[in-house]
Protein backbone atom coordinates (compact mmCIF):
# COMPACT_ATOMS: atom_id res chain seq x y z
CA UNK A 1 0.00 0.00 0.00
CA UNK A 2 1.24 3.45 -0.84
CA UNK A 3 1.92 6.06 1.83
CA UNK A 4 -0.35 8.59 0.17
CA UNK A 5 -3.82 8.93 1.60
CA UNK A 6 -7.04 8.94 -0.39
CA UNK A 7 -9.74 10.39 1.85
CA UNK A 8 -13.41 10.61 1.00
CA UNK A 9 -15.66 12.60 3.32
CA UNK A 10 -19.36 12.00 2.91
CA UNK A 11 -22.47 12.83 4.88
CA UNK A 12 -25.83 14.50 4.78
CA UNK A 13 -26.33 18.17 4.02
CA UNK A 14 -25.49 20.02 7.22
CA UNK A 15 -23.24 17.30 8.64
CA UNK A 16 -20.14 19.51 8.41
CA UNK A 17 -18.32 18.31 5.29
CA UNK A 18 -17.01 21.73 4.30
CA UNK A 19 -15.72 22.46 7.80
CA UNK A 20 -14.03 19.07 8.16
CA UNK A 21 -12.54 18.94 4.67
CA UNK A 22 -11.12 22.44 5.15
CA UNK A 23 -9.62 21.28 8.47
CA UNK A 24 -8.02 18.25 6.80
CA UNK A 25 -6.81 20.24 3.80
CA UNK A 26 -5.00 22.75 5.99
CA UNK A 27 -3.81 20.26 8.62
CA UNK A 28 -2.52 17.36 6.53
CA UNK A 29 0.52 18.31 4.46
CA UNK A 30 0.56 17.73 0.70
CA UNK A 31 -3.20 17.40 0.43
CA UNK A 32 -5.30 18.39 -2.57
CA UNK A 33 -9.00 19.04 -1.91
CA UNK A 34 -11.66 18.26 -4.49
CA UNK A 35 -15.30 19.23 -4.00
CA UNK A 36 -17.66 17.29 -6.22
CA UNK A 37 -21.39 17.63 -6.38
CA UNK A 38 -22.30 15.27 -9.19
CA UNK A 39 -24.53 16.14 -12.08
CA UNK A 40 -27.86 17.90 -11.78
CA UNK A 41 -29.37 15.77 -14.53
CA UNK A 42 -31.69 13.39 -12.69
CA UNK A 43 -33.06 11.84 -15.89
CA UNK A 44 -32.00 8.38 -17.09
CA UNK A 45 -29.57 10.11 -19.47
CA UNK A 46 -27.95 11.62 -16.38
CA UNK A 47 -26.88 8.16 -15.26
CA UNK A 48 -24.55 7.84 -18.26
CA UNK A 49 -23.14 11.32 -17.60
CA UNK A 50 -22.48 10.44 -13.97
CA UNK A 51 -20.98 7.07 -14.88
CA UNK A 52 -18.61 8.62 -17.41
CA UNK A 53 -17.58 11.35 -14.97
CA UNK A 54 -16.73 8.89 -12.19
CA UNK A 55 -14.91 6.48 -14.51
CA UNK A 56 -12.79 9.45 -15.62
CA UNK A 57 -12.21 10.30 -11.95
CA UNK A 58 -10.93 6.78 -11.23
CA UNK A 59 -8.68 6.97 -14.30
CA UNK A 60 -7.28 10.23 -12.89
CA UNK A 61 -6.76 8.70 -9.44
CA UNK A 62 -4.86 5.79 -10.94
CA UNK A 63 -2.52 8.27 -12.62
CA UNK A 64 -1.83 9.87 -9.23
CA UNK A 65 -0.94 6.65 -7.43
CA UNK A 66 2.51 6.81 -5.82
CA UNK A 67 2.87 10.57 -6.36
CA UNK A 68 3.41 11.36 -2.65
CA UNK A 69 0.34 13.56 -2.37
CA UNK A 70 -2.82 13.09 -0.37
CA UNK A 71 -6.15 13.38 -2.13
CA UNK A 72 -9.20 14.59 -0.24
CA UNK A 73 -12.73 14.46 -1.63
CA UNK A 74 -15.80 16.25 -0.35
CA UNK A 75 -18.33 13.90 -1.98
CA UNK A 76 -17.84 11.46 -4.86
CA UNK A 77 -19.84 8.68 -6.49
CA UNK A 78 -21.07 7.61 -3.05
CA UNK A 79 -23.34 10.66 -3.06
CA UNK A 80 -24.77 9.70 -6.45
CA UNK A 81 -25.69 6.30 -5.05
CA UNK A 82 -27.26 7.80 -1.91
CA UNK A 83 -29.37 10.25 -3.91
CA UNK A 84 -30.56 7.41 -6.12
CA UNK A 85 -31.35 5.19 -3.13
CA UNK A 86 -33.46 8.00 -1.70
CA UNK A 87 -35.36 8.46 -4.96
CA UNK A 88 -33.98 11.88 -5.91
CA UNK A 89 -32.96 10.56 -9.32
CA UNK A 90 -35.07 8.80 -11.96
CA UNK A 91 -32.63 5.90 -12.21
CA UNK A 92 -30.82 3.33 -10.13
CA UNK A 93 -27.07 3.81 -9.89
CA UNK A 94 -26.29 0.64 -7.92
CA UNK A 95 -24.89 -1.36 -10.84
CA UNK A 96 -22.43 1.44 -11.65
CA UNK A 97 -21.73 2.19 -7.98
CA UNK A 98 -20.76 -1.44 -7.29
CA UNK A 99 -18.24 -1.42 -10.16
CA UNK A 100 -16.84 1.97 -9.14
CA UNK A 101 -16.48 0.95 -5.50
CA UNK A 102 -14.71 -2.27 -6.42
CA UNK A 103 -12.25 -0.35 -8.60
CA UNK A 104 -11.88 2.37 -5.94
CA UNK A 105 -10.99 -0.25 -3.32
CA UNK A 106 -8.08 -1.47 -5.46
CA UNK A 107 -6.38 1.92 -5.79
CA UNK A 108 -2.84 2.04 -4.42
CA UNK A 109 -3.54 4.52 -1.63
CA UNK A 110 -4.14 4.33 2.08
CA UNK A 111 -7.94 4.68 1.66
CA UNK A 112 -10.20 6.38 4.21
CA UNK A 113 -13.97 6.63 3.95
CA UNK A 114 -15.33 9.03 6.56
CA UNK A 115 -19.02 9.54 7.17
CA UNK A 116 -19.93 12.65 9.11
CA UNK A 117 -23.13 12.63 11.13
CA UNK A 118 -24.87 14.41 13.98
CA UNK A 119 -26.26 12.63 17.03
CA UNK A 120 -28.62 15.50 17.81
CA UNK A 121 -30.52 15.96 14.57
CA UNK A 122 -31.90 19.32 15.74
CA UNK A 123 -28.42 20.63 14.87
CA UNK A 124 -29.39 20.27 11.21
CA UNK A 125 -31.90 23.09 11.56
CA UNK A 126 -29.20 25.55 12.60
CA UNK A 127 -26.72 24.37 9.99
CA UNK A 128 -29.21 24.26 7.13
CA UNK A 129 -30.42 27.82 7.50
CA UNK A 130 -28.37 28.95 4.53
CA UNK A 131 -29.70 31.92 2.67
CA UNK A 132 -29.25 33.04 -0.89
CA UNK A 133 -28.21 29.68 -2.32
CA UNK A 134 -29.93 28.36 -5.41
CA UNK A 135 -30.10 24.59 -5.16
CA UNK A 136 -31.79 21.94 -7.29
CA UNK A 137 -35.08 20.53 -5.99
CA UNK A 138 -33.46 17.23 -4.97
CA UNK A 139 -30.94 19.13 -2.86
CA UNK A 140 -33.28 21.49 -1.04
CA UNK A 141 -32.13 21.98 2.51
CA UNK A 142 -34.51 20.51 5.03
CA UNK A 143 -34.11 18.56 8.21
CA UNK A 144 -36.10 15.50 7.18
CA UNK A 145 -34.03 15.12 4.01
CA UNK A 146 -30.78 15.42 5.97
CA UNK A 147 -31.92 12.83 8.51
CA UNK A 148 -32.85 10.41 5.70
CA UNK A 149 -29.52 11.05 3.99
CA UNK A 150 -27.64 10.54 7.26
CA UNK A 151 -29.33 7.20 7.90
CA UNK A 152 -28.49 6.01 4.40
CA UNK A 153 -24.86 7.20 4.62
CA UNK A 154 -24.38 5.35 7.93
CA UNK A 155 -25.86 2.21 6.36
CA UNK A 156 -23.53 2.61 3.38
CA UNK A 157 -20.51 2.97 5.67
CA UNK A 158 -21.33 -0.39 7.27
CA UNK A 159 -21.72 -2.00 3.85
CA UNK A 160 -18.29 -0.73 2.79
CA UNK A 161 -16.69 -1.84 6.04
CA UNK A 162 -18.14 -5.34 5.69
CA UNK A 163 -17.16 -5.82 2.05
CA UNK A 164 -13.82 -3.96 1.76
CA UNK A 165 -11.54 -4.49 4.77
CA UNK A 166 -8.73 -2.49 3.12
CA UNK A 167 -10.84 0.69 3.25
CA UNK A 168 -10.60 2.38 6.63
CA UNK A 169 -14.20 3.32 7.44
CA UNK A 170 -14.99 5.84 10.16
CA UNK A 171 -18.21 7.45 11.32
CA UNK A 172 -17.51 10.77 13.03
CA UNK A 173 -20.04 12.84 14.94
CA UNK A 174 -19.72 16.57 14.33
CA UNK A 175 -22.03 17.66 17.15
CA UNK A 176 -19.08 19.04 19.12
CA UNK A 177 -15.45 20.02 18.62
CA UNK A 178 -14.52 16.45 19.57
CA UNK A 179 -15.31 15.45 15.99
CA UNK A 180 -12.45 17.62 14.74
CA UNK A 181 -10.09 16.03 17.24
CA UNK A 182 -11.18 12.54 16.17
CA UNK A 183 -10.45 13.43 12.53
CA UNK A 184 -6.96 14.63 13.53
CA UNK A 185 -6.37 11.35 15.38
CA UNK A 186 -7.63 9.20 12.50
CA UNK A 187 -5.40 10.95 9.95
CA UNK A 188 -2.46 11.63 12.28
CA UNK A 189 -2.07 15.40 12.03
All domains of the chain in start order, with CATH: 5-187 (3.40.50.300)
Residue 116's beta-bridge partner residues?
11, 172
Residue 133 has a pLDDT of 53
In this prediction, residue 63 has a pLDDT band, given cuts at 50, 70 and 90, of very high
Taking the CB of residue 154, how many other CB atoms lie within 10 A of it?
15
Whether pLDDT at 16 is above 60: yes
Tens of pLDDT, residue by residue over 160-175, are 999 999 999 999 999 9
pLDDT band at 11 (very low <50, low <70, confident <90, very high): very high
Mean pLDDT, rounded, of the chain = 92
pLDDT at residue 40 in the model: 83
Q: What integer pLDDT is reported at residue 127 of this predicted model? A: 82
H or E element in which residue 32 lies:
strand 31-35
Confidence at residue 141, expressed as pLDDT on a 0 to 100 scale: 62
Residue 1: what pLDDT? 43
Secondary structure E strands in 45-125: 70-74, 110-117
Which residues, 6 or more positions from 56, have their beta carbon under 8 angstroms from its beta carbon? none
How far lies 180's CA from each of 36, 115, 138, 177, in Å? Answer: 22, 13, 29, 5
132-to-91, 129, 135, 141 alpha-carbon distances in Å? 30, 10, 10, 12
Report d(CA 51, CA 40) in Å as an integer: 13
> Above 50 in pLDDT, residue 136?
no
Q: What is the DSSP string of 136-187?
A: -GGG---HHHHHHHHHHHHHHHHHHHHH-TTSEEEEEE-SSTHHHHHHHHHH
Q: Per-residue pLDDT for 126 more than 60?
A: yes
Given a cut of 60, whether residue 69 has pLDDT beyond it is: yes
Query: pLDDT at position 140, please?
Result: 53
Cβ 154 vs Cβ 171: under 8 Å: yes
Local structure of 82: helix, strand or coil: helix
Q: Is the pLDDT of residue 131 over 50?
A: no
> Which position has the higher pLDDT, 186 or 122?
186
Task: Please state, for a pLDDT cut of 90, what percent of the chain lies above it.
Answer: 82
Amino acid sequence: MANSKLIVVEGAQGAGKTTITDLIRHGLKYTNLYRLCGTSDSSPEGKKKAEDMYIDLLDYLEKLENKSINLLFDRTFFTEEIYCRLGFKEYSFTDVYDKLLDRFSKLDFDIYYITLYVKDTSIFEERLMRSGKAVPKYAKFNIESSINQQNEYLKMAEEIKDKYPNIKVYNVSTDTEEGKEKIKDILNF
